[in-house]
Amino acid sequence: MFDKRLFALPAVRRALIMLLVAAFAHALCVLGEAWGLSTAIARIWNGDPISDQVLPIAVFAACFLASQAVAWISDTRMESFARSRVNEIRERLMERTFSGDVRLKEKAGSAAVAQTLIEGAAQVESYLKLVLPKMVGVVVIPLIIFIAAIPLDIVSAFILLVLFPIIVFFMILIGNMAQDKAQRQYRAFQTMSNHFIDTLRGLPTIKALGAGRARGIQVFETSEAFRRATIDTLKVATLSGAVLDLIATAGVAAVAIMLGLHLIDGSIALAPALAALFLSPEYFKPIRAFAGDFHASLDGKNALAAMLDLEERTGTGTEETPAEEKAAPAVWNDSSVLSLRDVSVAYEDAGFSAIEETTIDLHGHEVVALIGPSGSGKSTLASLIAGFLRPSTGAIAVSSGIEAPIDVDLSCDAWRRQVVYIPQNPYVFKASLRDNLRFYAPDASDEAVLEAARAAGLDALVDEMPDGLDAVIGEGGRGLSGGQAQRIALARTFLVPERRILVLDEPTEHLDVETELELKQRMLPLFEDRLCIIVTHRLHWLDQADRIFRMEGGRLVEVEGAMDEQHAADDGAHIAYDAALTFAPTATGEAAYLDEALSAGRSSSVRASRVTCSLDDRASDDTAFAHAAGSADALAPGTDDPKRDRWVRPYFSMFRPELIRAVALGVAALAFATLLMFSSGYLISRAAERPDAILLVYLPLICVQVFGGGKPVLRYFERLVSHDWVFRMTSDLRLRLYAALEKTALAPGSRRSAGEVLGLVSDDIGHIQNLYLRSIFPAVTALLLYLLVVIALGCLSLPFAAGTAVLLGVAAFVLPLISLRANRTHLERSKNATDACYASLTDDVLGSNDIVLAGRGAEFLETHRAAQSAIAREESAVERRRHVIDASMAAVFCIGTCMTIVWAGERFAEPGAMGNAANWVAAFVLGFLSLAEAFSPLPHGAAVSCTYAQSITHLNRIPEAEDEARAIRRACTKPVKGGRNGQERGSDDRNAFPNRRCHADAQGDACLLNEADATHPAIDVREVAYVYDGSDRPALDGVTLDIPFGQKVAVLGRSGSGKSTLLSLVRGDAAPQNGSIRIAGREASSFGNGIARIVGYVQQDPYVFDQTLRANLRIADPNATDEDLRGVMESVGLAPALARLPRGLNTLCGEDGARFSGGERHRIALARVLLSKAPIIMLDEPMSGLDPDTEAGLLDTFMNAAQNRTLVMVTHHLAGIERFDRVIFIEDGRIAMDGTPAALARSDARFQALLEFDANC
């Protein structure tokens, strides 16, 4: 239950001393309560009048309320202590996150980091508030009560003494058993959260590959694994509580029996016997509370361990000199030199170095180009220079040109604030376009921002956005095309001219040739007076390079000679390009004409000023996603009432038997607890009459034993049944949530941020889970117990029953209602702030590299600190009110106990007479006191129930997909073996994709195409028009074309001209507003999910999941053998990369495929589509991030693999264009060119210009 590091926290000693004093004071209050209660009851039993019992009753009431005041003070102090300690740990983690410690994200995952900082921190705070008071209380309070029990009854004291080490022994024994299970449960929870967010980010890829249902099975199985791990832990933890409760209850029963025997033989009086009986449950109460909270403490312990482990992790690589001891580099100038000496970088667990013994000097304001094959280490070197990696070996020094070189740490702020780094996939925050553009210069004026946008070619995007610069664009750039995200990153550079180091990783990769050359001219001024490192596969950038370095296999070699000589050098680029021309499938004359045009293009020096066609940039096809990014809170279509519970209420009827069993067990457990104290009180009083035969107290003895043994058993089964039911419900909720998100994964306006969904999974579903466990179950069981008590008392005395009904009604209805009304505003604010924190913190963790480079880590840290402070203020307000409500609840039961003493004394006792009916006084008083256990949780449960409505509102924003969820449930019930490798489902660690039958189910009912379908065009588009919501410009406008089976078609066009939209409509991801689309003579929409079996599709930004390489490839074909996977990896040129991975296909790819380069990630996506066997293949810019050698080889691969298939490829590169049967050029949503490559090269001036442009790239 304890983490040793807990005692190393600051101020923990002061907290322990305070808790020792509080525990001592509480124990004294308990002794006072015991004296007052036992004295009053004994005197009444002896026949003294009620009026003479004012002093002992007053002492009992005063001590009872004083104990509540002590608890209030100690709880308040512990809340302050816990919150301070958690804030300190959280802030240190956020400081590391926003200081560029990328290893936190790489090791734990962005979702896990965000979740640890929010939910994990909340669990640790609860843990600290819980474990230290329980730890001190379990030592101090039993000790004082034991000392006090010795003079009362030595045998009872001996029983307490003997049972204490037995309980501790079982607590340690079972606790050790539960610890391993709890750690597995916590890991399962983190796996589930990371898996869900990873799935969310890759939903478009899943949808495109038709693996939605198969992935849903995996989501459900991951959720079920977490449920099973939780139930396994709960069984042990609950068993621990049940065993300890059973021993404690047996101890109370044993004390009661021994006291009864002593009363019979006259060795003890009634008053000390009642005091000993009252003290017995108080002796065990701290131990039982400790055991009862064991499961919750394990969650907090694991969360604390996770936070401390994250905090203790070192940065990537090793350092001979700590970073803080290295000198800060001076401001970069024309005389500065950056020297890397024998530098190697090895990723953890990679088994090889991404960079090996690299030595290079970078001087002043030179322009350096890095070329080489994909995966050779170029991006790693760029990331190292930008300050986001540390070398495993070697040294880095910087010289200002005057002083001697000094060793530096490039991850320090002094270096990073001189750097502008544009990676292959720049991050775009979920914020306004203005804030994204001026991210590095937050004080820039709108005029400067607009000028930077124009310089980066984004003026058309700004003009098209309905809200202009105020338009909200989506998380991770997913609301924009890759080219637009790169241009946003580029626009930032224009606003920070003082930064003298520019690192560009494929800066124009996602742009068409015309836009690329135009943008290049706008970028060239940025190179002036800067050190510029360009990682590129586009050879036109080499014209501007002062030096060129080639990387291969992690080693760097400088390419000697002038740029003109490089065009003839054996760097593989032009050789591969020329070699591709020899495979032209057209007639000899046409091929020669095309070759002549290409050769002419290479011999000229093309600049953007010579372009005769329009170079106006267009908005992306995905602009509508950006328009919708700011409206994620809008209700889903058809959701009329956002507060109507469509997600949770159906489970009441679905799991009615389990619900009834849980409630019945809960009521029975509470009833047994009440009857135990009731029968014990009667037993003591009856025994005090000293009956002649023990058989006269035999019935109460049996009742004490039955109720004492039955209560923990009932409580054990009640907790198991209720938790299992709730966890099944929440597991199914996650499945329904996934099915709903997957259904609209590619629909315009359906994008949701990772933080929003993380909040849904972790916070909203958690609230719904707690609604049952902390609100509904306690309320229903307490209500039923309330009715039973009132009815039972009504049979004895209607006035007392009415008084009890009013008093317990205050506890059951009035105080919960007051708690709800008093805390609603604060809890709703806290919930809203927590939701916003999930969204913003996840967004900022994902984009932390840009935050670091912008030098805004302290600003964002302060923002999140303020957000956490706001949440803490609301929670503190709730805690203050909770203490008031708890004190009121204590007052209710104090009044009720006093009222019961008075009523029972008048009802059963006769002045001057002893025993007889007076035996019932102790029974009713002790029985009433035990009712507090049932009613105390109600006010807090009622208060937190208000957050349930908010969670339901959040879920109602997502349209349901119950049919798909039902199909996934059915698939998950099939106990089927795995693929041909004989693997069971889930055997590939957490990464194995479900079996072939599940995958087949995932495709729907559509069949593969038959021979009759081949008589129709493969794709038939007729007068199709499509306009995105929020845009007045048609993405497609009256497009008509037909593509026969087997034809190879290249689709060209400017960025945003409608190419990707056309592919999306053909797949059926959206329906055109006008016109029709048919595949093999059938309406495209008729295929449903089965479209993936007909059309293999690779998007612009294919996602690589944080799973093994094997699992990533098997998305397309879950039944593929390892030999199949290795063969397809070889086909896409990844055999060398696979060979150097120590774990081969078992290698984890990392978040968004971080283990691989951008080009390698694209090739993994291409390998998937080769595995799919679909008769139609559509590729959207598949060659992004590839060097010319690899690009030419892949084109060969696809042409050979698609000999009997239809191939439609959107591309910006014209290398190998002659391999296609047909070229279509789309401009402004219309087809502007359509013909064979050779015919267009001969007759179309625009196409001739494109050939010329591309030949110079």
28 within a domain of the structure (yes/no):
yes
Of 903, 929, 962, the residue at which a domain comes to its end is 962
What is the domain-level CATH number for residue 255?
1.20.1560.10
Q: Mind listing the pLDDT tens digit for each residue in 848-904?
A: 888 888 888 888 888 888 888 888 888 888 888 888 898 899 889 989 888 888 888
Residues 129 and 275 in one domain: yes
DSSP summary character for residue 977 = B
CA distance 684 to 260: 5
Reply yes or no on whether the pLDDT at 307 is more than 50.
Answer: yes
Best-predicted range by mean pLDDT among 501-510, 737-746, 797-806?
797-806
Reply yes or no on whether the pLDDT at 324 is more than 50.
Answer: no
Q: How many domains does the chain have?
A: 3
What is the domain-level CATH number for residue 361?
3.40.50.300
231 or 670, greater pLDDT: 670
Residues 726 and 873 in one domain: yes
- Residue 425: the pLDDT is 77
pLDDT band at 25 (very low <50, low <70, confident <90, very high): very high
- Residue 547: the pLDDT is 92
Q: Which domain holds residue 732?
A: 4-309+632-642+655-745+756-962
Q: By percentage, how much of the chain surpasses pLDDT 90?
A: 12
995 within a domain of the structure (yes/no):
no
Looking at 757-761, 849-853, 904-908, which range is the least confident one?
757-761
Looking at 1-15, 32-46, 711-725, 1103-1117, which range is the least confident one?
1-15
Contact 1067, 1019 (CB under 8 A): no
189 within a domain of the structure (yes/no):
yes
DSSP summary character for residue 5 = G
Long-range pairs for 539-543 at CB < 8 Å and ≥24 separation?
539/567, 539/573, 539/574, 539/1188, 539/1256, 539/1257, 540/1256, 540/1257, 541/369, 542/369, 542/371, 542/566
- SS3 of residue 706 by DSSP: helix
996 within a domain of the structure (yes/no):
no
Packing angle, helices 962-972 and 212-265, rounded to 10: 70
- Residue 521: the pLDDT is 85
Reply yes or no on whether the pLDDT at 108 is more than 70.
Answer: no
- Residue 182: the pLDDT is 64
589 within a domain of the structure (yes/no):
no
- Residue 768: the pLDDT is 74
- Residue 966: the pLDDT is 77
User: Strands 555-559 and 1019-1026: what pairing?
Assistant: unpaired
Residue 765 has, within 13 A of its CA and on its CB side, a CA count of 22
Residues 957 and 1020 in one domain: no
- Residue 193: the pLDDT is 67
- Residue 975: the pLDDT is 45
Looking at 438-447, 1102-1111, 1199-1208, which range is the least confident one?
1199-1208
Contact 1042, 628 (CB under 8 A): no
Look up the pTM and report it.
Answer: 0.68
Residues 1066 and 935 in one domain: no
Reply yes or no on whether the pLDDT at 22 is more than 80.
Answer: yes
Of 933, 962, 991, the residue at which a domain comes to its end is 962
What's the average model confidence in pLDDT over 365-382? Answer: 88
CA distance 761 to 757: 6
pLDDT band at 1223 (very low <50, low <70, confident <90, very high): very high
- Residue 914: the pLDDT is 46
- Residue 1065: the pLDDT is 87
What's the average model confidence in pLDDT over 252-256? Answer: 81
Q: What are phi and psi for residue 1176, nearest 5 degrees? A: -120, 130
- Residue 1224: the pLDDT is 93
- Residue 207: the pLDDT is 81
Residues 338 and 271 in one domain: no
507 within a domain of the structure (yes/no):
no
- Residue 20: the pLDDT is 93
318 within a domain of the structure (yes/no):
no
Residues 951 and 1025 in one domain: no
576 within a domain of the structure (yes/no):
no
Residue among 1224, 1170, 1158 nearest 1194 (CA): 1170
Q: Mind listing the pLDDT tens digit for each residue in 941-980?
A: 888 887 777 777 777 777 777 777 777 777 775 543 433 3
564 or 540, greater pLDDT: 540
Residues 836 and 785 in one domain: yes
Residues 661 and 564 in one domain: no
985, exposed or middle or buried, with CB in 10 Å at 0-12, 13-18, 19+?
buried
- Residue 597: the pLDDT is 41
Q: Mind listing the pLDDT tens digit for each residue in 1040-1092?
A: 999 998 899 999 988 778 888 888 888 877 788 899 999 988 888 778 777 88
CA distance 379 to 160: 69
Q: Mind listing the pLDDT tens digit for each residue in 411-464?
A: 888 888 899 998 887 888 888 889 999 998 999 999 999 999 988 888 878 887
Contact 590, 996 (CB under 8 A): no
- Residue 582: the pLDDT is 32
Residue among 814, 821, 949, 827 nearest 878 (CA): 827
Residues 1044 and 1140 in one domain: yes
pLDDT band at 694 (very low <50, low <70, confident <90, very high): low
Of 570, 590, 617, the residue at which a domain comes to its end is 570
Structure tokens at 391: 């070398």
1215 or 987, greater pLDDT: 1215
Residues 717 and 843 in one domain: yes
Residues 334 and 267 in one domain: no
Residues 946 and 1021 in one domain: no
Q: Mind listing the pLDDT tens digit for each residue in 605-655?
A: 332 322 223 323 333 333 332 333 333 333 333 444 555 667 777 787 777
